[in-house]
Structure 1
Amino acid sequence: MIEVYIDGASAGNPGPSGAGIFINFKDGTVERHAIPLGIMSNHEAEYEALLHGLSICLEKGIAKVSFRTDSKLIDDAVEKRHVKKAQYKGLLEQAILKIDQFEMFFIKWIPGNQNKNADELARLAIRKNVESQ
């Protein structure tokens, strides 16, 4: 089962934001995605990282995935399929529609020091965002 490490980051809250997605195919192959997101909050960037990661996996026809995030907000929302703040409801609903297309989907919270690849990609995406303005 492939592992997908995701991270969203913002330079300001809200501010220029980016999503980092690091995919480990467990066969020695990895993919790195640094996606500029425009201006948004850090929490929105975390959701966008999840959505982009899910979309990439679905486009590749991957049936079984294990996502890793250092965001408790994302981990809890996906596990419970519920958000406390109404502003994130639509983002979670989009994620669930994608998640339900997988044969197997897991998400696991990990400490930030285990998510360095995705974090570096998210920060690179912020810089890409700023450079394109």
Structure 2
Amino acid sequence: MIEVYIDGASKGNPGLSGAGIFIKSGEGQERYSIPLGVHDNHAAEYLALIHALRICQEKGYEDIISVRTDSRHVADAVEKEFVKKEPYRSLLAEALELASAFPLFFIKWIPESQNKTADQLSREAIRKNA
């Protein structure tokens, strides 16, 4: 099983944003800090998920992908395959399409206290925008 911890952050809403991705697999741990440009916080969270799933595809992971996020909004939207607000519909659709490529995909909400590495990486990514 591949454990993927994600976090999206924005400095301002909208503002400079970043994605933090922390992957734990049988091969070890990987950390990614990806600048996203200007987005609101929810969009940054979706983009963190999208980037994480792309990375898993590029790495050729074919195991169970278990994503952990401290965004209830994203976790609920993915589980229900629905989001009300228009700006997030295309991001959710892209995330669901990427997730469907894996034999088993799960997403789980976790408290911020359990997502500190991804949070730190997302904040580093904000600084990389400048």
TM-score of Structure 1 vs Structure 2, range by shorter chain: over 0.9
CA distance in 2, matches of 1:80, 1:7: 20
Measure how far apart 1:26 and its partner are: 4.2
Q: What corresponds to 1:128 in structure 2?
A: 128
TM-score, with normalisation over the residues of structure 1? Answer: 0.95
Q: How many residues are paired up?
A: 129
More displaced, 109-118 or 59-68?
A: 59-68
Deviation track 1:35-61 (CA, whole Å, cap 9, x = no partner) reads: 000011011100000000000001111
* Offset, 1:87: 1.3
Where structure 2 has 5 or more consecutive residues not aligned to the other structure, the ranges are none
Q: Which runs of 4+ in 1 moved over 3 A?
A: none
Q: Secondary structure at the match of 1:108?
A: strand
Please name the residue that 2:11 is paired with. 11
Matches within 5 A, 1:13-92: 13-26=13-26, 29-63=28-62, 64-92=64-92
**Equivalence for 1:93:** 93
* Distance in 1 between residues matched to 2:76 and 2:103, nearest whole Å: 21
Counterparts of 1:102 and 1:30 in 2: how far apart (Å)?
20
SS in 2 for 1:11: strand
Identity %: 60
The alignment yields a C-alpha RMSD, in angstroms, of: 0.8
Compute the TM-score of the two structures, normalised by the length of structure 2: 0.97
- SS, match of residue 102 in structure 1: coil
Structure 1: gaps spanning 5 or more residues: none
Q: Displacement, 1:93? A: 0.5
